[in-house]
């Protein structure tokens, strides 16, 4: 089993500096170029299937990649970004103004929580379901998702609870690879690889 996780290309929300969550932005022009470069790189590697979060920024990235690989991109709702509730669509400045206590918790090293958010335990359940399903697939799967999803999947593989602060930074169109070793154990073989982007990578990780 080989799972190549790709964060979507830069979105319109990334470019405008908002915290996205489930707000459904499409790709920016830079994001399209990142997706095209990623597709060209993966064409040389090959893949057996492409799955994607149904949110537009991921689905558009997946369509570009899948087209280059000669596949269709199949939606996988479990790969949608974490729903951050009332913080969705805010800029960092607006977040500081509306939820100062949340930022104070983050500054203290705690996982911030937002009114109306999905809930980390619920998030862990759906990501575990996705990981179990993807781990059963033979060959190579390309899965296009989001920064919070990819970081948390790495947490699950390494046995780190998703309630803990994120330990993995995920750039736009970076590659993170999870494979099974000889014993069948899942391991993170590569993380946040942007070498194929030739300096195009955008690093603001706001969902």
Residues sharing a CB contact under 8 Å with residue 101, sequence separation 6 or more, in sequence order: none
CA distance 74 to 160: 29
CA distance 123 to 147: 14
Active site residue 8: yes
Active-site residue (options: 8, 146, 155, 196)? 8
pLDDT tens digits for 75-111? 999 999 999 999 999 998 898 899 888 778 878 877 7
pLDDT tens digits for 30-73? 999 999 999 999 999 889 999 999 999 999 999 999 999 999 99
Could you tell me if 34 and 200 are in contact, meaning their C-beta atoms sit under 8 angstroms apart?
Answer: yes
CA distance 21 to 173: 17
CA distance 128 to 152: 10
* Whether the predicted model's global pTM rises above the 0.85 cut: yes
Active site residue 81: yes
Q: Which residue has the tokens 């179990």?
A: 132
β-bridge pairing 2-7 and 175-180:
antiparallel
Active-site residue (options: 78, 81, 146, 196)? 81
């Amino acid at each position: 089993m080989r799972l190549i996780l790709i964060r979507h290309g830069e979105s319109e929300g990334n470019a405008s500096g908002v915290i996205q969550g489930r707000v459904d932005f499409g790709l920016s022009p830079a994001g399209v170029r990142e997706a095209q470069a990623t597709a060209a790189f993966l064409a040389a590697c090959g893949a057996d299937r492409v799955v994607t979060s149904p949110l537009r920024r991921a689905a558009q990235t997946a369509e570009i990649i899948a087209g280059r690989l000669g596949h269709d991109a199949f939606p996988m709702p479990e790969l949608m970004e974490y729903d951050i509730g009332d913080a969705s669509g805010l800029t960092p400045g607006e977040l500081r103004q509306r939820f100062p206590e949340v930022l104070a918790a983050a500054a203290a090293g705690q996982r911030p929580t937002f009114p109306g958010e999905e809930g980390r335990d619920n998030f862990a359940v759906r990501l575990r379901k996705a990981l179990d399903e993807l781990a059963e697939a033979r060959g190579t799967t390309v899965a296009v998702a989001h920064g919070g999803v990819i970081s948390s999947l790495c947490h699950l593989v390494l046995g780190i609870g998703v309630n803990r602060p994120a330990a993995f930074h995920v750039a736009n169109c970076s590659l993170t690879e999870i494979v099974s070793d000889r014993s069948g154990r899942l391991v993170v073989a590569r993380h946040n690889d942007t070498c194929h982007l030739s300096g195009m990578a955008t690093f603001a990780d706001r969902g």
